[in-house]
């Protein structure tokens, strides 16, 4: 292209100035989460509550009178078994195989060790719910995570309820908080979170799904939040 320098307007010569060039914006590609790292984080997250409770039970055992020692020892043994189940589940995931199905237990047997990790949570359960067969390790993990989240992040009292309706076990953890954008994101997330925020809820979703159940968050009126889990009968 030749432009007459003596003319102030190059367009008078039929020349076209180049238009603005398109700029390609490069965004960093998100790296897929390392499965091994996710597994390690999940193990640490799931073992934290039972290990803290086990340490507290052992301290209480030293000072407890004789009639209470057997009760505390039984709770401690249940938390050791729970920790072992978490590690076994991690081994199944790491090596790509599944062990034999865990025998079913009633919700009545699962609740005491679950509530020992969150002693400030009040509980109400129907007789039918207490007799309902559940996967012991997964149900403990589900309730421990939901109750622990409510105690840590929501104001006011926390309540756990269990009932049977339409041939399904319905568990609800109710607190005085409300739905937040972070909660909605955690409930829709398809991959593990990049850090510990939302990791417990992601674990709950995987466990509930593996049992053929559902999980939802429901806002209460006038205030409050209910995390509701619906589970079919577990047959082992």
| 171: three-class secondary structure by DSSP | strand
Strands 168-175 and 133-134: unpaired
Split into its structural domains, the chain has a count of 1
pLDDT of 233 reads: 96
Q: Which residue has the tokens 């790292």?
A: 37
Is residue 216 within 8 A of residue 204, CB to CB? The reply is no
Contacting residues for 38 by C-beta, under 8 A, at least 6 apart: 192
3-state secondary structure the chain: CCCCCCCCCHHHHCCCCCCCCCCCCCCCCCCCCCHHHHHHHHHHHHHHHHHHHHHHHHHHHHHCCHHHHHHHHHHHHHHHHHHHHHHHHHHHHHHCCCCCCCCCEEHHHHHHHHHHCCCCEEEEECHHHHCCEECHHHHHHHHHHHHHHHHHHCCCCEEEEEEEECCEEEEEEEECCCCCHHHHHHHHCCCCCCCCCCHHHHHHHHHHHHCCCEEEEEECCCCCEEEEEEECCCCC
In which element (H, E) is residue 79 found? helix 66-95
Per-residue confidence in pLDDT tens, the chain, 236 aa: 443 444 444 444 444 545 555 544 544 455 545 555 555 666 666 666 666 666 776 777 777 787 777 777 777 777 666 666 666 665 555 544 454 478 899 999 999 878 877 778 999 999 999 999 999 988 988 998 899 889 888 888 999 999 999 999 999 999 998 888 888 888 888 887 777 677 888 889 988 998 999 999 999 988 899 999 999 999 97
| 82 belongs to a structural domain | yes
| Local structure of residue 176 (DSSP, 8 states) | S
Give the whole-angstrom CA distance, residue 156 versus residue 224.
10
Is residue 123 a part of any domain in this protein? Answer: yes
The secondary structure of residue 101, as a DSSP letter, is: P
Is residue 223 situated within a structural domain?
A: yes
| Residue 9 domain flag | no
59 lies in which domain range?
35-231
- Cis bond before residue 41 (omega within 30° of 0): no
CATH number of the domain that residue 176 is part of: 3.30.565.10
16 lies in some domain:
no
Domain membership flag for residue 57: yes
Whether residue 190 is contained in a domain is answered as: yes
């Amino acid at each position: 292209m030749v432009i007459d320098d003596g003319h102030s307007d190059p367009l008078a010569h039929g020349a076209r100035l180049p238009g603005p060039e398109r700029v390609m914006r490069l965004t960093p590609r998100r790296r897929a989460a390392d499965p091994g790292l996710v597994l390690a984080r999940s193990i640490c997250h799931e073992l934290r509550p039972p290990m803290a409770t086990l340490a507290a039970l052992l301290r209480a055992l030293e000072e407890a009178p004789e009639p209470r020692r057997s009760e505390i020892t039984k709770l401690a043994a249940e938390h050791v078994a729970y920790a072992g189940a978490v590690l076994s589940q991690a081994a199944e995931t790491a090596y790509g195989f599944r062990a034999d199905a865990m025998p079913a237990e009633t919700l009545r047997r699962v609740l005491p060790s679950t509530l020992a990790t969150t002693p400030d949570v009040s509980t109400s359960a129907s007789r039918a719910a207490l007799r309902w067969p559940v996967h012991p390790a997964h149900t403990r993990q589900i309730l421990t995570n939901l109750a622990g989240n409510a105690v840590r992040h929501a104001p006011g009292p926390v309540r756990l309820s269990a009932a049977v309706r339409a041939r399904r076990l319905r568990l609800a953890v109710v607190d005085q908080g409300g739905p937040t954008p972070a909660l909605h994101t955690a409930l829709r997330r398809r991959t593990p979170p990049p850090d510990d925020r939302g990791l417990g809820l992601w674990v709950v979703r995987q466990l509930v799904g593996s049992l053929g159940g559902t999980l939802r968050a429901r806002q209460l009126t006038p205030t409050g939040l209910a995390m509701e889990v619906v589970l079919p009968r577990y047959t082992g």
